[in-house]
Structure 1
Amino acid sequence: MNKIDTLFNRARQLRLYGLTAHWDEIATQDWVPTVIRWEEDERSDRSLLRRMRTARLGHFKQMADYDWKWPRRIDRATVEELMTLAFMKDATNIVFIGPNGVGKSTLALNIAYQALIRGHSVLFRTASEMLGELAAIDSDSLLRRKLQYYASHDVLLIDEIGYLSYSNRHADLLFELISRRYEKRSTIVTTNKPFAQWSEVFPNAACVVSLVDRLVHHCEVVAIEGDSYRFKEANERSIAQRQQRASHQSGETEPAS
């Protein structure tokens, strides 16, 4: 395919019908590649902004700022491989397991952001927000549409499974959603509970074993061990503030010369 034909196909994909209708007249003009590139760039930018609003990732620490030395245990090589998004090719899921404050959400959000900027549709929800919304719907047709909405995104990030306990209805809804995405699209989950303790998150729910089975069948599980980094930062701030106050008070009590 020659350069002119390539430009024509790009213009047709952009639905620039005015240009394609008069292609024989303008195909060799020097400005045509520039106009097509401008249109492609503008649409790409608008698409990214739209997907970012939909994703609702919020503010999060970038990978460059992540302190890999803080966790006592983390498989950095696996996380860095996940950042390449190769897992999406076969709809592999990701589960980050670890205690509070070790960076599970930070890592998950960075992977989701990589998917977003590479053109994929992404959605972020906390487990309580998503399951509460679904459980409150009393219309079957509306519930089906909402489940399809959650199931349709290329990457769905469900944050903080395990911090609250849920009813059987919540468990059934999560199972339904994971089943809809199973082997079709990737789901990222963060949890502070090992899978053996998910029965505590969904007590008495009959579908817990099946839910975990569907989630982990094609899955990268990243276990993180360590103390809370947020607690470390809070403690450091507290020490710095005490030192600052002590220094200020010491300056105020110095005798005048």
Structure 2
Amino acid sequence: MSEQLREMCKSLRLAYVADIYDQTPYESSEQFLEAIFAEEFRLREEAKVQRLLKKAKFLDGKNLSDYEWHDQIRFPAHIDPGGLQSLSFIENRENVVLIGAPGTGKTHLATGLGRSACEHGYEVRFFRVAQLVEQLEHALRQEKLAAFRKRFEKVDLIVLDEMGYLPFGKEGSELLFQLISEWYEQKSLVITSNLEFSQWNRMFVDGRLTAALVDRLIHHAHVLSFTGESYRLSHALSRSH
């Protein structure tokens, strides 16, 4: 391709045409243009998904395709695995809360839902809850709390992993409560926790704040209970024999 044509592609913001035009079979002018533009669109979508996955900051590459649905996940009556994987809860600004013992597949499912959301064009952010609270407290000390909260304006789904693994101080609890209150009916959350709702006062200092937080989270929520033993423990024990 001539330099002039490359510059034209650049001006038209055709990021991939210059690289793929000589690999595209030519049968007719119309077929060639259709094929080359279709590939441009496909590569753009692929690049967008990669950008979304990078911005989400997942801790690993776990996804729904290798998730093992098991009979020890109790679904509410109004949703099943297919309904969850459809991601309709994001469009409806509903929450998904996954509660159960460590090692039962909650984080894998939460990450898989988040990655699938990215693949469908949604803006997603992944946090371990303790790290989010640390970032909130740091932003407050730096007088940058408003800017930190503004970063979520265009985010569709926030995955909050390990709610309840570490207790928070009064300041951290209040900051997290304020943030989740802002997201109420504006964003979707996927939350994993090893504690039943009745035990959440262990991590939040204020009982009234805990009740108000739980009320907001479960108002539009699909709550799944994970029972049984830890998969990680069972797998480790089976390998040791």
- Per the normalisation by structure 2, the TM-score is 0.80
* 8 Å Cα contact 1:171/1:205 also seen in 2: no
1:194-240 deviation line (CA, Å, top 9, x unaligned): 1111111112364222111111111111111111111001111211x
Q: How many percent identity over aligned positions?
A: 29
The equivalent of 1:47 in structure 2 is 48
The correspondence for 1:215, drawn from 210, 217, 223, is 217
Aligned pairs (5 A) from 1:152-231: 152-204=154-206, 206-231=208-233
Q: Distance in 2 between matches of 1:85 and 1:114?
A: 8
The equivalent of 1:105 in structure 2 is 107
Closer, same or farther in 2 for the Cα pair 1:67/1:85, shift >3 Å?
A: closer
- For structure 2, the residue ranges without an aligned partner over 5 or more in a row are 1-10, 15-27
Q: Distance in 2 between matches of 1:205 and 1:170?
A: 14
Asked if residue 34 in structure 1 is aligned to residue 35 in structure 2, the reply is yes
Q: Distance in 2 between matches of 1:122 and 1:89?
A: 13
CA drift at 1:41? 1.8
* 8 Å Cα contact 1:158/1:187 also seen in 2: yes
CA RMSD of aligned residues (A): 2.4
Asked if residue 16 in structure 1 is aligned to residue 12 in structure 2, the reply is yes
**Which stretches of structure 1, 4 residues or more, deviate above 6 A after TM superposition?**
none
Q: Which amino acid aligns with 2:209?
A: C
SS at match of 1:207: helix
The equivalent of 1:95 in structure 2 is 97
SS at match of 1:136: helix
Structure with greater Cα Rg: 1
1:155-191 deviation line (CA, Å, top 9, x unaligned): 1000000111001111111111112211111111000
Q: Distance in 2 between matches of 1:174 and 1:136?
A: 13
SS at match of 1:54: helix
Closer, same or farther in 2 for the Cα pair 1:51/1:61, shift >3 Å?
A: closer
- For structure 1, the residue ranges without an aligned partner over 5 or more in a row are 1-14, 19-27, 240-257
- Per the normalisation by structure 1, the TM-score is 0.76
* 8 Å Cα contact 2:99/2:196 also seen in 1: yes
The correspondence for 2:142, drawn from 119, 139, 144, is 139
The equivalent of 2:236 in structure 1 is 234
CA drift at 1:150? 3.5
* 8 Å Cα contact 2:164/2:193 also seen in 1: yes
1:94-149 deviation line (CA, Å, top 9, x unaligned): 10000111111111111111111011111111001111111122133x21111222
Aligned pair count reads 215
SS at match of 1:164: coil
* 8 Å Cα contact 2:56/2:126 also seen in 1: yes
Closer, same or farther in 2 for the Cα pair 1:66/1:90, shift >3 Å?
A: closer
Q: Distance in 2 between matches of 1:150 and 1:160?
A: 20
The equivalent of 1:5 in structure 2 is none
Q: Distance in 1 between matches of 2:224 and 2:29?
A: 54
* 8 Å Cα contact 2:103/2:232 also seen in 1: yes
Q: Distance in 2 between matches of 1:229 and 1:151?
A: 36
